[in-house]
Structure 1
């Protein structure tokens, strides 16, 4: 084992022990963790090693730093996100997605704007990056912390000028929004992946740059194959798991 991998194992083991202490209730949610010097003495390591271990706890949601105050325990939430099944799955239909959450979420920020979409969204919609979209955004929060962002992109050319839905920021089911716009989705496809958060994600979700987010993108098309919208859901990985039902009937 190299010196580098040996040093890594030390701070990973310390993070594992502190994480176990948090899960085991030795440190309560919201409690301030012992200071850097105290932890360095406990584990008989340098302060830098403790800093690395604490960074791991912040990254996976077991701790949060407060400027000028210290590091505090933050118990990860458990919220299940169940995306749409694939279009060829038995019983699939537009609007079949559901989220089973252990607590109610509050919507504390909403907006609707017209802007150019990110390149990946533009590509999914068959646009170039100069063509505008109308974007509906919302932030969802559990008690004391934001956990999810949604951004729904619809090509501006598809939003009728006289449609009040084009100005109404009220969050609603994607199929309802599109219906309000006079658009009728027929097919959809979901992709979920982990990625590094962007600066806006970090600001809105109030997470450190070292914590990945889950990015779930639902693209829908009408019966003629025209892309109508992309609904992007960005989730704090310290709060969400992605759940899929598995049908094993008849499998031997």
Structure 2
């Protein structure tokens, strides 16, 4: 049983015990943990306590949950670097990490009403029709990063570039697609902030609900100062380091 006199909430004491078994080699990477019922009986706590302890260790990167299979000791994960460097490369320009070898999947929905927050970023009325495109970035066939892009159909509707990943300019990115419409994209603004991952995104990414991530709110603007696209980029903190490259003026210029 967990020592009732030890400090901390029950799930934290169980988490410490599980963490110790991983640290001392009792459980090694790839090992499947006993069921919650078995662990609950061992530590003298309920299933909810075991679940919270496991979710904490999943968030720390020590365990991983596999749907329909159980909870396993996670092998050390090589961290990736998300380079936020100006780029006009192919694909979802400015989102796909520099040097990202794997692929992504995209799904677009036209005439999607703009939620209030997105409408404010695009400077349009809430409910105005947009094209919403959801991207899943894959490594070893598993999602490792998510992005959701919004574009007002007042700009792209009825054109061959209305779908970011469809038509003759599919996959060329915001800058090239807008240039086809005679729109010059001159800058992008990014606002990173820490968030806890919601259940639906956590399940897709194979991480714990509530795990830490960085949400990058990115908006592209044209030469008139008009927002032409905005996106939410969800970057799990347990997988990615974010690196910004900032150009500085030359001395004496």
State the TM-score, normalizing by the size of structure 2: 0.73
Paired residue for 2:16, among 5, 9, 13? 13
Task: Tell me if 1:166 matches 2:180.
Answer: no
1:37-91: per-residue Cα shift (whole Å, max 9, x none)?
77678xx73344544321212233432334553212334441211225xxxxxxx
- Please give the secondary structure, in 2, of the residue aligned with 1:177: helix
Q: Please name the residue that 1:233 is paired with.
A: 233
1:4-38: per-residue Cα shift (whole Å, max 9, x none)?
953365245335435646xx89522x431344577
1:152-171: per-residue Cα shift (whole Å, max 9, x none)?
2111101151x211135244
Deviation at 1:237, TM superposition (A): 3.0
Taking a change above 3 Å as real, the CA distance of residues 133 and 216 of structure 1, as seen in their structure-2 partners, is: same
- Please give the secondary structure, in 1, of the residue aligned with 2:32: coil
Distance in 2 between residues matched to 1:168 and 1:221, nearest whole Å: 16
Distance in 2 between residues matched to 1:247 and 1:185, nearest whole Å: 18
- The within-5 A match list for 1:43-82 is 45-48=43-46, 49-75=49-75, 76-82=77-83
Is the contact between residue 122 and residue 227 of structure 2 (CA under 8 Å) also seen in structure 1? yes
Distance in 1 between residues matched to 2:69 and 2:82, nearest whole Å: 34
Is the contact between residue 138 and residue 151 of structure 1 (CA under 8 Å) also seen in structure 2? yes
Taking a change above 3 Å as real, the CA distance of residues 11 and 223 of structure 1, as seen in their structure-2 partners, is: same
Distance in 2 between residues matched to 1:4 and 1:125, nearest whole Å: 52
Is the contact between residue 83 and residue 190 of structure 1 (CA under 8 Å) also seen in structure 2? no
Is the contact between residue 59 and residue 208 of structure 2 (CA under 8 Å) also seen in structure 1? yes
Taking a change above 3 Å as real, the CA distance of residues 137 and 70 of structure 1, as seen in their structure-2 partners, is: closer
Alpha-carbon RMSD across the aligned residues, in angstroms, is: 3.5
Q: Which runs of 5+ in 2 are unaligned?
A: 249-253
Out of 122-131 and 45-54, give the one that drifted further. Answer: 45-54
- Please give the secondary structure, in 2, of the residue aligned with 1:194: strand
Distance in 1 between residues matched to 2:123 and 2:246, nearest whole Å: 33
Q: Please name the residue that 1:244 is paired with.
A: 244
- The within-5 A match list for 1:127-146 is 127-146=124-143
Deviation at 1:111, TM superposition (A): 2.8
Count residues in correspondence: 231
- Please give the secondary structure, in 1, of the residue aligned with 2:161: helix
Is the contact between residue 119 and residue 125 of structure 2 (CA under 8 Å) also seen in structure 1? yes
Task: Tell me if 1:32 matches 2:29.
Answer: no
Is the contact between residue 37 and residue 47 of structure 1 (CA under 8 Å) also seen in structure 2? no
Distance in 2 between residues matched to 1:179 and 1:159, nearest whole Å: 11
Q: Please name the residue that 1:106 is paired with.
A: 103
- Please give the secondary structure, in 2, of the residue aligned with 1:225: coil
Distance in 2 between residues matched to 1:108 and 1:247, nearest whole Å: 31
State the TM-score, normalizing by the size of structure 1: 0.73
Q: Which runs of 5+ in 1 are unaligned?
A: 85-92
